[in-house]
Amino acid sequence: EDQVTQSPEALRLQEGESSSLNCSYTVSGLRGLFWYRQDPGKGPEFLFTLYSAGEEKEKERLKATLTKKESFLHITAPKPEDSATYLCAGVAGNQFYFGTGTSLTVIP
Amino acid sequence: KAGVTQTPRYLIKTRGQQVTLSCSPISGHRSVSWYQQTPGQGLQFLFEYFSETQRNKGNFPGRFSGRQFSNSRSEMNVSTLELGDSALYLCASSLEPGTGSYEQYFGPGTRLTVT
């Protein structure tokens, strides 16, 4: 069964305390792995797309990496405004499979 | 460039009623997907439309239906509403399939509450 699993479900960090979010996938014929940020009451905001193992992408304090089985979203020196739910999704056959997300809280 | 717009933003309906939600994709995007988001289940795929045709469908009952118009705008309809249909309904648009780009851009969602 095609599936995407994210861990941890929730993460609390002190401002400046770096950490990583995990997204493991079992999606046959994966064509891309996506990361989104979602703020309460809003739609997900596109962050990154990764297409092949070994690929890395960065944006401000965020870096996404991809292996053959999982993806990581590394957050370096987070700030309170980074607090949000981070979703990952795998796409295969034009269909997206979303994980249930990691709720990140960054404490000042 | 304007983003994905969804109307209405909030809706309260009673069990047994039906509801229609609307989505206007980003200009130039011809593929529209719909998702249901609930706290327990996360984002679940409903269906995808391209060129007025449903290309993919998730595992939802027939009470959930949709359509796409020639200008790429899409609507989804839920008939005979149940309490469990209360959720945030999200629409996402993307370029036409086959372009190699799978990036989806989401609208703000419609919050449906069924009482």
Report whether pLDDT(B89) > 90: yes
- On chain A, the residues whose CB falls within 8 A of the CB of B4 are 43
Q: With CB atoms and an 8 Å threshold, state whether B45 touches A96.
A: yes
Instruction: Count other C-beta atoms under 10 Å from residue B1's C-beta.
Output: 6
Interface with A, mutate which of B43, B50, B89 (most A CBs under 10 A): B43
* pLDDT of res. B1: 64
* pLDDT of res. B7: 97
* pLDDT of res. A27: 84
DSSP state of B19: E
pLDDT digits (tens, 9 = 90+) for A65-91: 999 999 999 999 999 999 999 999 998
- On chain A, the residues whose CB falls within 8 A of the CB of B102 are 31-32, 34, 49, 91, 94
A27/B contact by beta carbon, under 8 A:
no
Q: With CB atoms and an 8 Å threshold, state whether B109 touches A100.
A: no
Q: Chains A, B: CB contacts under 8 A, how many?
A: 55
Report whether pLDDT(B52) > 80: yes
pLDDT digits (tens, 9 = 90+) for B4-41: 999 999 999 999 999 999 999 999 999 999 999 998 78
Q: How far does A77 lie from chain B, in Å, by closest CA?
A: 27
Q: With CB atoms and an 8 Å threshold, state whether A98 touches B105.
A: no
- On chain B, the residues whose CB falls within 8 A of the CB of A41 are 108-109, 111
Q: What is the mean pLDDT of each run of 10 residues along chain A (108 residues)?
A: 92 98 91 93 91 94 95 97 96 84 97
Between positions 49 and 78 of A, the ones with CB within 8 A of B are: 49
